[in-house]
Structure 1
Amino acid sequence: MSTALSFTTDRRADGATVLAATGEIDMSNVASFAAALADARHRAADGAFVIDLTGVEYIDSAGLAAVFPHVDSVHLIATPLLAPVLTIAGLDDVTTIREP
């Protein structure tokens, strides 16, 4: 059974593409997360986009691994509870993580 996860893709006033995820990201739904990441990157005019994880309550190693192929073109937004997980995974060494 797949864990609940939903996405919205939008464009900010500055033109940046934003993929917002809501729910939990784990191995049961990582394929849809990876597909949403690829779609957001494709939609972005210059390939750079934002992943808004403020609606994500949990992300496992499969979800983190799905982000790594995009680190050269992504910025992350995460809650104070999720940001340390991203930092421990090393994402702060290769991309920007900021709180909302």
Structure 2
Amino acid sequence: MTTELTFTTGSASDGAVVLTAAGEIDMSNADAFADALVAAVADAGGARLIIDITEIHYLDSAGLAALFAQADHIELRTGPLLAPLLEVSGLTDLTTVHRA
């Protein structure tokens, strides 16, 4: 069974492209998350890209791997739940992380 995960796209007031993910990211849907990240990077065309994971309530190692694979092309927006995980994993050393 695939865990629920939804995506919406938009833009920030400064013109950055924003991909918002909501739900949970685990091994059942990490490929879909990785695909969404790759597509968002391509669609952004070099523009600033923010991945908003403030509405993600669970993120496993497969989801982290997808973020690591795109760390050079993205910024992250996170809430207090996932901020410690991003820091401990070392992702905060590779990309900009904004805390909501």
The reply to whether TM is greater than 0.5 is yes
- Could you tell me the TM-score, scaled by structure 1's length? 0.94
Q: Which amino acid aligns with 1:11?
A: S
Q: Which amino acid aligns with 2:65?
A: A
Distance 2:26 2:9 in 1: 20
Aligned residues: 100
Contact 1:10 1:17 in 2 (8 A): yes
The SS at the match of 1:9 is strand
Distance apart, 1:12 and its partner CA? 2.1
Distance 1:52 1:88 in 2: 19
Deviations 1:8-39 (A, max 9, x none): 11122322111100000000000110111011
Q: Which amino acid aligns with 1:37?
A: L
- Could you tell me the TM-score, scaled by structure 2's length? 0.94
Unaligned runs of 5+ in 2: none
Q: Stretches of 4+ moved more than 6 A in 1? A: none
Distance apart, 1:48 and its partner CA? 3.6
**Paired position in structure 2 for 1:70:** 70
Distance 2:31 2:47 in 1: 20
Percent identical among aligned pairs is 50
User: Superposition pairs for residues 9-88 of structure 1, below 5 Å?
Assistant: 9-46=9-46, 48-88=48-88
Q: Which amino acid aligns with 1:72?
A: D
